[in-house]
Chain A
Amino acid sequence: MKVEYDLVIIGGGPAGLAVALEARRNTVKDILLLERDKYLGGILPQCIHNGFGLQYFKEELTGPEYAERFIAKLNDNRIDVKTETMVIKITPDKRIIAINRDDGLLHIQAKAVVLAMGCRERTREAIAIPGNRPAGIFTAGTAQRYINIEGYMPGREVVVLGSGDIGMIMARRMTLEGARVKAVLEIMPFSTGLIRNRVQCLDDFNIPLKFNHTITRIEGEKRVERVTVAQVDKNLQAIPGTEEEMSCDTILLSVGLIPENELTGEMGIKLDPVTRGPIVNENRETEIEGVFACGNVLHVHDLADFVSEEGEIVGRAVGECLKRNRKFRYQPIKIVPGENIAYVVPQHIDFIVPGRKKIKIFMRVKKPAERVRINLLDDKGRVLGSYKKRIVTPGEMVSVYLPEVLLDDKLKNITISVKRN
């Protein structure tokens, strides 16, 4: 088999699929896409609900339909795909070691690598709930795979911990399949998911959403029998005396996602402590030239549509990188998170690009706020840009455009802050 490629993409979810197609459109010749599951599409085939594609295709699709749009095009483009193939190491000089049943051990040399491994769910262990260790505790995504792909029903009486989108979507899905969802508990005073999901997944089925509540204890012999639920204070500590018992046989956890960056870390690439993804420039290129990252491995996105958009940025950038058609700035500009900004992507701007008018900067706020301005300030505190936002919440990624004309050679840092209007 072929062992040298211009581009090797690790992961065949929405990010990897978008990169492959866009890199091909940008004249990248030999492309290999590696995927560890049996099918392409990543998490999309199990996300059978609608709500995908409104941004990217301007029509509403389900997850499997959204994936199929990309997969169908991939087949036309003769991009090499290997499924059931697990990458076990990537070296800084872009040698990829992978294994699968047909080829055994694979050594592949790439000119460019795209990290598109996505993320995984936080588990009970990550949030340390005391109690027994009975069966019946699932991450929401695992339960989703059982119900939607494999045809198993995880339980009958359910408590969902965490009001992230997957948690709310699974509350509806379990209800539709005949389970009773007793409550969705959210430790924060606000939901971390989309408003549409709160209404159409919880309110539609009269599923109570309890803010400032968490599970403090899990009990059960072989199977989960009950949980203790308590209200929490401002420091997220359980308030004594507020505990109540809820009987249930199943607990679904929707308590956050972690970018899957073990391969990235082993390559020696620095990770952002907040995003837990690599630190990248405006091309989503890591500190190793020719190694890119996009999608949920870089930072957790709200919508697959935004992942596809980011994959296309990388697809184009790989084309430019391989053509050696790039001009570096006199010095990189660092984008620094300021007041009420949890993180920004990209973290720095490295290139001079003729004809580029603006750069889209993505960010997540720490706390919800209404009637605010997102201000972009230079080192001297001068306002480079100021954008009005009616509302910002941690559950919805915010984006602003940085105008290219404002970026002069002396500029070292741009600080982004949220200010009351």
Chain B
Amino acid sequence: MEQNKIICVSCPIGCRMTIRSKDGKITSIIGNACPKGIKYAEEEFINPLRILPTTVKVIGGELPLVSVKTEKAIPKRLLLKAMTKIAEIEVKAPVKIGQVIKDDLMGTGVSLIATRNIKKADSNLYS
């Protein structure tokens, strides 16, 4: 029997829930004030997912970085590993919002996309 404590983020109440499980299967969820809590707890227990927002180096842009995000949520356990992969990427200016910076990030099937426009420039505004 295992026990996990999580806080629900579905609303400002932030119910503190306890998930009991055996052999990776949920046996009980307690502490939720509404059905949203059950759904959240199940998702968090089975496969917690997060969108990863970060930045990528830009070559020849008006700014040194472009903000990016994973187009969909990826498994939480991959976040730190994904950061080291993303650190290797460089992109040439100009960059358009929504542009795919890297497709199929780490075999997740999820693309990394730009979240802003970066114009081409002769020199960096902030360097």
What residues of chain A have their CB less than 8 Å away from a CB belonging to chain B? 38, 45, 48-50, 60, 62, 64-65, 68, 147-151, 176-178, 194-196, 198-200, 203-204, 390-391, 393, 395-396
The minimal Cβ–Cβ distance linking B127 to chain A, given in whole angstroms, is: 8
Contact-residue bracket for chain B: 20 to 34
Q: Is the beta-carbon distance between B55 and A65 smaller than 8 angstroms?
A: no
- Complex Cα distance A151/B67, Å? 11
Q: Say which one of B7-15, B24-32, B99-107 lies at the interface with A.
A: B7-15
Q: Is the beta-carbon distance between B53 and A48 smaller than 8 angstroms?
A: yes
Complex interface: chain A residues within 8 A of B50 (CB): 200, 204
Q: Is the beta-carbon distance between A68 and B116 smaller than 8 angstroms?
A: yes
Q: Is the beta-carbon distance between A199 and B7 smaller than 8 angstroms?
A: yes
Q: Is the beta-carbon distance between A150 and B54 smaller than 8 angstroms?
A: no
- Extra A-B contacts (6), CB below 8 Å, given A151-B55, A176-B83, A390-B13: A48-B67, A49-B53, A50-B53, A65-B97, A176-B79, A203-B6
In the complex, the chain B residue whose C-beta lies closest to that of A198 is B7
Residues in B69-108 with C-beta less than 8 Å from chain A: 69, 76, 79-80, 83, 97
Q: Which 9 A-B pairs have the closest CB atoms?
A: A64-B116, A195-B14, A48-B67, A151-B64, A196-B9, A62-B115, A64-B115, A396-B12, A150-B126
- Complex Cα distance A203/B16, Å? 13
- Complex Cα distance A86/B3, Å? 57
- Complex Cα distance A68/B116, Å? 7
Q: Is the beta-carbon distance between B69 and A50 smaller than 8 angstroms?
A: yes
Q: Is the beta-carbon distance between B13 and A391 smaller than 8 angstroms?
A: yes
Complex interface: chain A residues within 8 A of B54 (CB): 48, 176-177
- Complex Cα distance A390/B117, Å? 42
Contact of B55 among A50, A148, A391 (CB under 8 A): A148
A-B contact pairs, 30 of them (CB 8 A): A48-B55, A50-B51, A62-B53, A62-B115, A64-B115, A65-B116, A68-B97, A68-B116, A68-B117, A148-B55, A148-B67, A149-B126, A150-B65, A151-B64, A176-B80, A194-B12, A195-B7, A195-B9, A195-B12, A195-B13, A198-B7, A198-B14, A199-B6, A199-B7, A203-B7, A204-B50, A204-B76, A204-B79, A391-B13, A393-B12
B50-70 contact mask (Cβ, 8 Å, vs A): 1 or 0: 111111010000011101010
Complex interface: chain B residues within 8 A of A390 (CB): 13, 33
Complex interface: chain B residues within 8 A of A393 (CB): 12
Complex interface: chain A residues within 8 A of B63 (CB): 149-150
Complex interface: chain B residues within 8 A of A49 (CB): 53
In the complex, the chain A residue whose C-beta lies closest to that of B5 is A203
Query: Does B125 sit within 8 A of A, measured CB to CB?
Result: yes
Complex interface: chain B residues within 8 A of A391 (CB): 12-13
Complex interface: chain A residues within 8 A of B6 (CB): 199, 203
The minimal Cβ–Cβ distance linking B63 to chain A, given in whole angstroms, is: 6
Complex interface: chain B residues within 8 A of A148 (CB): 55, 65, 67
Q: Is the beta-carbon distance between A48 and B125 smaller than 8 angstroms?
A: no
- Complex Cα distance A21/B18, Å? 47
Q: Is the beta-carbon distance between A62 and B67 smaller than 8 angstroms?
A: yes
Complex interface: chain B residues within 8 A of A62 (CB): 53, 67, 69, 115
In the complex, the chain B residue whose C-beta lies closest to that of A65 is B115
Complex interface: chain B residues within 8 A of A196 (CB): 9
Complex interface: chain A residues within 8 A of B51 (CB): 50, 60
The minimal Cβ–Cβ distance linking B40 to chain A, given in whole angstroms, is: 10
The minimal Cβ–Cβ distance linking B15 to chain A, given in whole angstroms, is: 10
Q: Is the beta-carbon distance between A45 and B116 smaller than 8 angstroms?
A: yes
The minimal Cβ–Cβ distance linking B44 to chain A, given in whole angstroms, is: 9
- Complex Cα distance A279/B65, Å? 40
The minimal Cβ–Cβ distance linking A65 to chain B, given in whole angstroms, is: 5
The minimal Cβ–Cβ distance linking A203 to chain B, given in whole angstroms, is: 7
The minimal Cβ–Cβ distance linking A319 to chain B, given in whole angstroms, is: 30
- Complex Cα distance A64/B63, Å? 14
Q: Assuming A65-B115, A148-B67, is B7 touching A38 (CB within 8 A)?
A: no
- Complex Cα distance A151/B57, Å? 8
- Complex Cα distance A396/B11, Å? 11
In the complex, the chain B residue whose C-beta lies closest to that of A393 is B12
Complex interface: chain A residues within 8 A of B125 (CB): 38
The minimal Cβ–Cβ distance linking B1 to chain A, given in whole angstroms, is: 22
- Complex Cα distance A40/B6, Å? 39
Complex interface: chain A residues within 8 A of B97 (CB): 64-65, 68
Complex interface: chain B residues within 8 A of A199 (CB): 6-7, 9
The minimal Cβ–Cβ distance linking B41 to chain A, given in whole angstroms, is: 12
The minimal Cβ–Cβ distance linking A174 to chain B, given in whole angstroms, is: 12
The minimal Cβ–Cβ distance linking B111 to chain A, given in whole angstroms, is: 15
